[in-house]
Amino acid sequence: MKKIAFVFPGQGSQTVGMGKDLADKYPEVMAYFTKTDETLKTPLSRLIFEGPKEELTLTVNTQPALLTTSIALLDFFQKSGVKADYVAGHSLGEYTALVAAGVLTFEDGVYAVRKRGEFMENAVPNGEGSMAAVLGLERDKLSTVTKEVTESGSSVALANLNCPGQIVISGSKAGVEAAGVKAKEAGAKRVLPLEVSGPFHSPLMKPAASELREVLDGLEMNDASIPVVANVTAEPVSVKTEIKNLLIEQLYSPVLWEDSVQKMIALGVDTFIEIGPGKVLSGLIKKIDKAVTTYSVSDEASALAVIDALKEETL
């Protein structure tokens, strides 16, 4: 019997016009975008559909925009009857997974990620933090590099462990630059600075954690109806109190994406369906294990194609 995981993308996957084809055609899909506008008391749907890109890319806008689009796509896709055995999301995408698993209502999810985006942007003054992707260096070697730089007085840490040979580091501008130089000396093929507004998933995000806890404490959370594989532990969780604590830790801890995918495969998952704009996670999953099947649902055409493909596989 096929085991399926739904996975949801994080920041970087957003595009102007995402979800518009479905929203224009199906009122029940447009209803999600309308709910977001009402929840945030701002016309975010217009920004999602029309841009400008620079404004959509701001963290406070990107996070609720991606959650809204992904959940709208999920609702359309699930009308086919396809169900997941596990859900997971990359960073911000974990909140989408929690809405999908019934831990948070859609409106509370939108509100939480808008506040999360604000806290993340305000935690470190603009220009003082940065992130970079390190390609072609093993996790242990890069971990040694970041420890050496931190011990010398500059803050830097592993932030996103995406797949073999692709790890993102995060910290102070000086720390990331120093770690980049040392990573190349240790054998990294490339070090690519990322266009981000802060040092996400690093200890520098800890000031945002207490603020996020206050927000989450004010929301009603439920136990998960589908196990959620958490970024922080790469283990499935269902209990709401544990989920809340892990969301706080997630702000300043590395996203163990490679480990999470490996865990789901170990639990029997053989089919991963990425729901949301882009194909970033599908690409990472294939680099982690070529044997699994991956699909991407980003618009009506791709949703219908995936539904047809799954039907053929079960015949």
Nearest to 147 by CA among 124, 115, 178, 116: 178
For residue 68, count CB atoms less than 10 angstroms from its CB and return exposed for 0-12, middle for 13-18, buried for 19 or more: buried
Q: Which residue has the tokens 């004010």?
A: 218
Q: Which two tokens stand for residue 282?
A: 């599908």
* Owner of token pair 């053989």: 270
**Which of the following is catalytic: 13, 45, 70, 91?**
91
Q: Which of 13, 130, 197, 201 is catalytic?
A: 201
Instruction: State the Cα–Cα distance between residues 156 and 137, nearest whole angstrom.
Output: 16
Q: Is 91 a catalytic residue?
A: yes
Distance CA 93, CA 116 (A): 12
226: nearest Cα among 9, 10, 8, 13: 8
| Biggest distance spanned by C-alpha atoms of the chain | 60
In the chain the beta strands, taken as DSSP E runs, fall at 4-8, 86-89, 129-135, 156-163, 166-172, 190-193, 228-229, 236-237, 271-275, 293-297
Element (H, E) at 196: none
Just list the catalytic residues: 91, 201
